[in-house]
Amino acid sequence: MEESKTPLLDELEKGDWPSFVTEIKRAAKKNKGAAGLLSQLESSYKEKIGHWKHGGIVGVKGYGGGVVGRYCDDPEKYPDIREFHTVRVCQPAGFFYTTKKLRQLADIWDKYGSGLYNMHGSTGDIILLGTTTPNLQPCVDELAEIGFDLGGSGGALRSLSCCVGQARCEKACIDSMDIVRELTQQYQAEIHRPAWPYKFKIKSSGCPNDCAAASARSDLAVIGVWRDTIRIDNSAVRKEVDGGYDIFNRVVRRCPSEALTWDQKKRELTVSAEDCVHCMHCINMMPDAISIGRERGATLLIGGKATVVKGSMIGWILVPFIKMDPPYSELKDLFYKMTEWWAENAKNRERIGELIDRLGYSTFLDAIGLKPLPQMVRAPRSNPYIFWKKEEVK
Amino acid sequence: MAKNDFGPPDFREMLPPVIKKNYGNWKSHDIPRPGVLKHTSYTGDVIHSVRVASPRLVSSDWIREISDVADKYCDGYVRFTTRNNLEFLVSDEKKLQPLINELDAKDYMIGGVGLSISNVVHTQGWIHCKSAVTDASGITKGVMDKMADYFTGKKSVPARLRIAVACCVNMCGACHCSDIAIVGIHRTIPKINDEAVARSCELPNVVASCPTGAIRPNPKTKSISIVAEKCMMCGNCVVVCPSLKIMDPENDGVSIWVGGKVSNARSGPAFSRLAIPYIPNEPPRWSTVTAAVNNLVEVWAANAKSGERMGEWINRIGWERFFKLTNLPFTDKHIDDFTHATTTFRSTTQSKF
């Protein structure tokens, strides 16, 4: 029997979880690049080091980004992945597909690339993994013919993403898929032609459960919320309690603002609307009995990002409540104001959250014309070092 | 003439008719069996979603294979979740059990819904990234092999548990708000090849890229020098100047973080906090990492109250008990010394002994 050339990676074909190694091997049967990737990856596993290097800039006509150059560091040894570029393809909002569209995509990528994909990349794009420089343009041209356009890269607006929203969730307070669709169409230039100090991400979640991780993973998060009161169907509540559901310990006691009361005699659940912080706990626990309110809109948060450079940030409340009716003009207007201020003031590779940290939230609010609100802070400042404007002193 | 800037396919063309019809009109949902969601509309219409594990890195063969299945049972409609699972969307309830039978027969793993450990959000790793300190896919595979019973619902958990893997501190996988996060880290400062740096890098940019001011121009070599005590090994300079080399197979590895979340349910979104500062890279199966994650999950599952996420559990019992119960050492590495470090120091006399 022939000895395996990838003994280390073979270990990752064992076990219950679906194996990415099996997928690379499937692609490697048809594509030399995928085979090259497999061999190089085995080396990485042996040597505990990556073998991709910073490469030259690659591109396609009409776009400043969307394709990312990738070169192996030993082209003599792995000539088939000398060039192995990434093509970022913008996904349909909510990651819904027809199999017809998926098959068309696979046919094109088999023709021009490795036949390997990330479904999906961290930002949301379909990531086509690995092709050569000459194949980029024809690949992107044919993708356009079946209706797929490129996503963002570099100092640009990155492809937007969202949760499943109103397509299949009773908790969605906003149409997160339509918002992402509308903004994506509006900001095509910002996505495709990098003109900013660094990346900018927008994500939208339908409710405060934030399945799109918008507050942590996007510079501008659009998270659905309601501002009237939750709706309680007490007949449904009673049905669950009759079935043995421990409503007091599982729901009432865990309400973070003590807004719920369960009257054991009347067998009635009530909410003190002014105390409710719209956190989702009771709705998550009793989806048949408790639902979101009717006056719906979004909370906007600004500044969310991962670690590099100045540390991780979770977005800060920018607008506690904004109505979200198409075409979302108020949001679009705010977006232009904030990115203009950021582009003008930021250093290279400085995200908007880091810039706000450096220059001050009040300065930012001033620049984009928003008034300070108590919802923006955990608590007011505890130090007396206040900056006064000229017109505020004699 | 090539067309540009037309955007992604319109999602409306990708929706099953029952979703189109009931868009924005869903009433409730339940979980009839692990891995299956049943959504009911105010019109009485129903859609079932069968969630299966995906390795995220997939081949064209896989895409055609899932398409065949979806054509047979789902009128050709599928979707992916924000955590890289695949969902078969079943409009005709009669096709639900036959679909599950076929998925079982083909060894697809059904799960990841509700009280479970869902798929890992992770980054590119050695497979295709230039700054990867580790291989995210390999770690994910090792960890999820171990966690498989929590995915399928064979074993239960007190609450959702979200695992993320990032192969460097760029954290494309946004680990910083996960119940358990595994992050690739460097422990040694970049090596400077003076000649290459002088030839290929813009020195002012390199100097400016350093968040701690550890990089200074070196007029003698027309290169730069790094003040070792100030360097926190973030790798930002390496992005700006690839002639600096930060990869160090002997010293690179991963760290493990706990207790983050993004949901606003009960408590607000929270950062993950350091649990284990360093574990060496152990390809192919990262067995120490896998065992460490398993320990965290088991201790949490055994001790947390019903509905308590990892971070909520830790907040209730306190960090001193967390380190005791998990049998993890608390070290100097656990005390923050970066920006806003002092906000993490405790001022109350309320301690557990």
Is position A194 within any domain? yes
Longest dimension (CA), chain B: 78
Clarify whether residues A167 and A206 are in a common domain: yes
A23, A46, A54: residue with CB nearest B62? A23
Tokens 């059904």, residue?
B110
Clarify whether residues A311 and A168 are in a common domain: yes
Contacting residues for A348 by C-beta, under 8 A, at least 6 apart: A197, A198, B205, B208, B209, B240
B140 neighbourhood in chain A, CB within 8 Å: 17
Residue of A nearest to B126 (CA): A50
Is position A155 within any domain? no
Residue of B nearest to A310 (CA): B211
DSSP secondary structure string for all residues of B305-317: PTT--HHHHHHHH
Please choose, from the candidates A86, A150, A142, the residue with its C-alpha nearest in 3D space to the C-alpha of residue A111. A142
B28, B151, B247: residue with CB nearest A49? B247
Check which CATH number belongs to the domain holding A47 and give it. 3.30.70.2500
Residue segments in chain A with a per-residue pLDDT below the cut of 50: none
Can you tell me the distance from the alpha carbon of B170 to that of B172, in angstroms, rounded to the nearest whole number?
A: 6
- DSSP β-bridge partners for residue A97: B78
Can you tell me the distance from the alpha carbon of A230 to that of A248, in angstroms, rounded to the nearest whole number?
A: 18
* CA distance between the termini of chain B: 73
Interchain proximity A129–B80, CB inside 8 Å: no
Residue B112 near residue B53, CB atoms below 8 Å:
yes
Clarify whether residues A118 and A237 are in a common domain: no
Clarify whether residues A181 and A286 are in a common domain: no
B70 neighbourhood in chain A, CB within 8 Å: 99
Tens digit of pLDDT for each residue in B106-157?
999 999 999 999 999 999 999 999 999 999 999 999 999 999 999 999 999 9
Measured between CB atoms, does B123 come within 8 Å of chain A?
A: yes
A41, A109, A279: residue with CB nearest B264? A279
Check which CATH number belongs to the domain holding A285 and give it. 3.30.70.20
Can you tell me the distance from the alpha carbon of B113 to that of B211, in angstroms, rounded to the nearest whole number?
A: 41
Can you tell me the distance from the alpha carbon of A229 to that of A224, in angstroms, rounded to the nearest whole number?
A: 14
Check which CATH number belongs to the domain holding A201 and give it. 3.30.413.10
Can you tell me the distance from the alpha carbon of A233 to that of A262, in angstroms, rounded to the nearest whole number?
A: 13
Q: Which residues of B77-89 are buried (b: 16+ CB within 10 A; e: fewer)?
A: bbbbbbbbbbbbb
Residue of A nearest to B164 (CA): A122
A95, A149, A189: residue with CB nearest B80? A95
B71 neighbourhood in chain A, CB within 8 Å: 99
Clarify whether residues A128 and A42 are in a common domain: yes
Q: How far is CA B24 from CA A71, A141, B40, in A?
A: 46, 35, 12
Is position A217 within any domain? yes
Antiparallel, parallel or unpaired: β B163-166 and B121-122: parallel
Residue B344 near residue A311, CB atoms below 8 Å:
no
Clarify whether residues A211 and A123 are in a common domain: no
Is position A39 within any domain? yes
Clarify whether residues A305 and A387 are in a common domain: yes
Helix locations, chain A, DSSP H:
7-10, 20-28, 32-47, 99-112, 133-145, 176-186, 188-192, 214-217, 234-242, 247, 281-285, 329-345, 352-359, 361-368
Is position A5 within any domain? no
Can you tell me the distance from the alpha carbon of A8 to that of A35, in angstroms, rounded to the nearest whole number?
A: 15
B13, B76, B281: residue with CB nearest A48? B281
Clarify whether residues A119 and A262 are in a common domain: no
Interchain proximity B269–A210, CB inside 8 Å: yes
Contacting residues for A147 by C-beta, under 8 A, at least 6 apart: A101, B6, B8, B9
Residue A140 near residue A86, CB atoms below 8 Å:
no
B54 neighbourhood in chain A, CB within 8 Å: 18, 119
Clarify whether residues A181 and A216 are in a common domain: yes
Q: How far is CA A217 from CA A312, B173, B269, in A?
A: 10, 9, 12
Please choose, from the candidates B76, B89, B147, the residue with its C-alpha nearest in 3D space to the C-alpha of residue B118. B147
What element of type H or E holds A249? none
Tens digit of pLDDT for each residue in B195-237?
999 999 999 999 999 999 999 999 999 999 999 999 999 999 9
Q: How far is CA B102 from CA A31, B50, B54, B85, in A?
A: 29, 12, 16, 18
Clarify whether residues A118 and A67 are in a common domain: yes
Interchain proximity B59–A116, CB inside 8 Å: yes
> Which one of A120, A145, A170 terminates a domain?
A145
Measured between CB atoms, does B61 come within 8 Å of chain A?
A: yes
Interchain proximity B174–A306, CB inside 8 Å: yes
What domains, with CATH codes, occur in chain B?
A: 18-105 (3.30.70.3340), 121-187+249-344 (3.30.413.10), 191-245 (3.30.70.20)
* pLDDT confidence band for B265 (50 / 70 / 90): very high
Per the prediction, chain B carries an average pLDDT of 96
Is position A138 within any domain? yes
Can you tell me the distance from the alpha carbon of A263 to that of A250, in angstroms, rounded to the nearest whole number?
A: 15
Instruction: Report how many domains make up chain A.
Output: 3
Measured between CB atoms, does B171 come within 8 Å of chain A?
A: yes
DSSP class of residue A245? Answer: -
DSSP class of residue B169? Answer: T
Measured between CB atoms, does B55 come within 8 Å of chain A?
A: yes
Q: Using only the alpha carbons of chain A, give its radius of gyration.
A: 25
Measured between CB atoms, does B172 come within 8 Å of chain A?
A: yes
Number of A–B residue contacts, CB under 8 Å:
352
> Which one of A242, A264, A291 terminates a domain?
A291
Tens digit of pLDDT for each residue in A249-288?
999 999 999 999 999 999 999 999 999 999 999 999 999 9
DSSP secondary structure string for all residues of A151-218: ---SSSBPPPEE--GGGS-TT-SS-HHHHHHHHHHHTHHHHHS--SSS-B-EEEESSTT-TT-HHHH-
> Which one of A291, A307, A330 terminates a domain?
A291
**Tell me, what's the pLDDT at A3?**
87
Residue of B nearest to A109 (CA): B60
B8, B109, B132: residue with CB nearest A18? B109
Is position A10 within any domain? no
Cα–chain center distance at B347: 32
Closest CA of chain B from A391, distance in Å: 32
Can you tell me the distance from the alpha carbon of A186 to that of A183, in angstroms, rounded to the nearest whole number?
A: 5
Is position A154 within any domain? no
Residue B212 near residue B264, CB atoms below 8 Å:
no
* pLDDT confidence band for B266 (50 / 70 / 90): very high
Query: What is the percentage of chain B residues whose pLDDT exceeds 90?
Result: 97
Please choose, from the candidates B272, B24, B38, the residue with its C-alpha nearest in 3D space to the C-alpha of residue B165. B272
A54, A308, A348: residue with CB nearest B208? A348
Rounded (5°) CA angle A54-A57-A62: 150
Residues of chain B by 3-state class (helix, strand, coil), percent to 5: 35, 20, 45
pTM metric for this prediction:
0.97
The domain containing residue A317 runs over which residues?
161-226+298-392
Clarify whether residues A168 and A202 are in a common domain: yes
Clarify whether residues A108 and A184 are in a common domain: no
Q: How far is CA A321 from CA A52, A276, B8, in A?
A: 45, 15, 29
Measured between CB atoms, does B142 come within 8 Å of chain A?
A: yes
Segment 266-295 of chain B within 8 Å of chain A by CB: 266-267, 269-271, 281, 283-285
Residue B85 near residue B68, CB atoms below 8 Å:
no
Written as six digits, the tokens of B73 are: 């049972």
